Amino acid sequence: MKKSIIKTCLATAGILFMSCLAACSDDDTPAGQPIDKNIIENGLSVYAQSNIVEIPVEAAGAWSVSVPDTCDWLTVLNDSGNGRDVMTIVLDDNIGGEMRTVTATLNAGGATTEFRISQYGELDGIVADNGDNDYIQTAATKKLGVGCNLIEYYDSQYKKGTPVGLNYSRNSVFNLASLEKLLDSGEDDYANIVSAVPRANLNFEAANMDSIIDKRDSLGVAFQLNVSYAKFHFGISGAYHGNEDLKDHTMKLAYSAEYPTLDAGISYMDALTHYSNYMAEENAPKNDFRKTILTTGMAGLRKNIETAVKSNNTAVANRYIRQLVNNYGTGVVVGSTLGGRITMDLDMDSLYIKEVMRVDTATVKVGFELGLFKLDADVEVSYLNSSISVLQNSRYKLEVAGGDMTKAGEVLTALSNADYSDTGLPDRIKDWAYSIRNDVDYTKCNADLLQVDIIPIWEIFDDFECQDAVINYLEGIYPNSTFIKRYLAGESTDVRKVKIKSTHTR
Q: What is the CA radius of gyration of the chain?
A: 27
Whether residues 443 and 399 fall in one domain: yes
* Confidence (pLDDT) at 23: 40
Dihedral angle of Cα 376, 133, 169, 127, to the nearest 10 degrees: -120
The answer to whether residue 160 scores a pLDDT higher than 80 is no
Tens of pLDDT along 428-485? 888 999 999 887 666 677 888 777 788 899 999 989 999 999 999 999 999 999 889 9
Whether residues 325 and 444 fall in one domain: no
> What DSSP designation does 233 have?
B
Provide mean pLDDT across the span 166-177. 90
Q: Give the pLDDT band (50/70/90) at residue 351.
A: low
Share of residues in the chain with pLDDT > 90 (%): 35
Whether residues 176 and 67 fall in one domain: no
Q: Give the pLDDT band (50/70/90) at residue 141.
A: low
Q: Give the pLDDT band (50/70/90) at residue 503.
A: very low
Whether residues 297 and 431 fall in one domain: no
Tens of pLDDT along 85-120? 999 999 999 887 789 999 999 999 888 999 999 998
Residue with more model confidence, 485 or 382: 485
Provide mean pLDDT across the span 136-146. 69
Closest CA to 383 of 373, 393, 397: 373
Whether residues 58 and 82 fall in one domain: yes
Q: For the chain, how many structural domains are there in total? A: 3
> What DSSP designation does 216 have?
P
The answer to whether residue 382 scores a pLDDT higher than 60 is yes
197-206, 251-260, 365-374: lowest mean pLDDT where?
197-206
The single-letter code of the amino acid at 274 is: H
Q: Give the pLDDT band (50/70/90) at residue 71.
A: very high
Whether residues 396 and 375 fall in one domain: yes
Closest CA to 485 of 151, 164, 148: 151
Whether residues 191 and 306 fall in one domain: yes
| Overall residue count recorded for the chain in this entry | 506
The answer to whether residue 423 scores a pLDDT higher than 80 is no
Whether residues 139 and 179 fall in one domain: yes
* Average pLDDT score, the chain: 76
Residue 126 lies in a domain: no
Neighbouring C-alpha atoms within 13 Å toward the C-beta of 252: 10
DSSP string, 139-197: HHTTTTTEEE-HHHHHHGGGSSSSPPP--EEEEESB-HHHHHHHHHT--GGGTTSEEEE
Residue 250 lies in a domain: yes
Residue 187 lies in a domain: yes
- 3-state DSSP assignment of residue 339: strand
Provide mean pLDDT across the span 120-142. 53
Q: What is the 3-state secondary structure (H, E, C) of 298-318?
A: HHHHHHHHHHHHHCCCHHHHH
Range from 21-30, 43-52, 97-106, 322-331 that averages highest in pLDDT: 322-331
Share of residues in the chain with pLDDT > 70 (%): 71
Q: Give the pLDDT band (50/70/90) at residue 420.
A: low
Residue with more model confidence, 94 or 349: 94
Residue 425 lies in a domain: yes
Residue with more model confidence, 210 or 492: 492
* Confidence (pLDDT) at 183: 92
The answer to whether residue 281 scores a pLDDT higher than 90 is yes
The answer to whether residue 326 scores a pLDDT higher than 80 is yes
Whether residues 429 and 482 fall in one domain: no
Provide mean pLDDT across the span 338-363. 70
Which residues lie below 8 Å from residue 256, measured CB to CB, with a gap of 6+? Answer: 9, 206, 207, 208, 209, 341, 342, 343, 344
Range from 56-65, 74-83, 305-314 that averages highest in pLDDT: 305-314
Which domain covers residue 246, as residue numbers? 205-263+341-448
Which residues lie below 8 Å from residue 14, measured CB to CB, with a gap of 6+? Answer: 95, 140, 141, 142, 143, 144, 146, 168, 218, 219, 442, 449
Whether residues 321 and 457 fall in one domain: yes
- Count of C-beta atoms within a 10 Å radius of residue 290: 24
Residue 279 lies in a domain: yes
* Confidence (pLDDT) at 421: 57
294 strand-pairing partners: 174
* Confidence (pLDDT) at 139: 55
Whether residues 52 and 75 fall in one domain: yes
Provide mean pLDDT across the span 134-144. 62
* Confidence (pLDDT) at 41: 92
Please tell me whether the overall predicted TM-score, pTM, comes out greater than 0.95 for this model.
no
* Confidence (pLDDT) at 137: 58
Range from 187-191, 223-227, 324-328 that averages highest in pLDDT: 324-328
* Confidence (pLDDT) at 374: 79
Q: What is the 3-state secondary structure (H, E, C) of 351-416?
A: HHHHHHCCCCHHHHHHHHHHHHCCCCCCCCHHHHHHHHHHHHCEEEEEEEECCCHHHHHHHHHHHC
Largest CA distance in the chain: 93
Provide mean pLDDT across the span 194-204. 76
Q: Rounded to whole angstroms, how far apart are CA atoms 390 and 407?
A: 23
Whether residues 413 and 300 fall in one domain: no
* Confidence (pLDDT) at 506: 39
Which of 119, 153, 175 is the last residue in one of the domains?
A: 119
* Confidence (pLDDT) at 218: 30
* Confidence (pLDDT) at 377: 66
Residue 506 lies in a domain: no
> What DSSP designation does 98 have?
-
Residue 274 lies in a domain: yes
* Confidence (pLDDT) at 63: 93
What CATH number is given to the structural domain containing 43? 2.60.40.10
Which of 119, 147, 169 is the last residue in one of the domains?
A: 119
Provide mean pLDDT across the span 159-182. 87
Q: Give the pLDDT band (50/70/90) at residue 358.
A: low
Which of 75, 96, 119 is the last residue in one of the domains?
A: 119
* Confidence (pLDDT) at 19: 37
* Confidence (pLDDT) at 231: 39
Residue 350 lies in a domain: yes
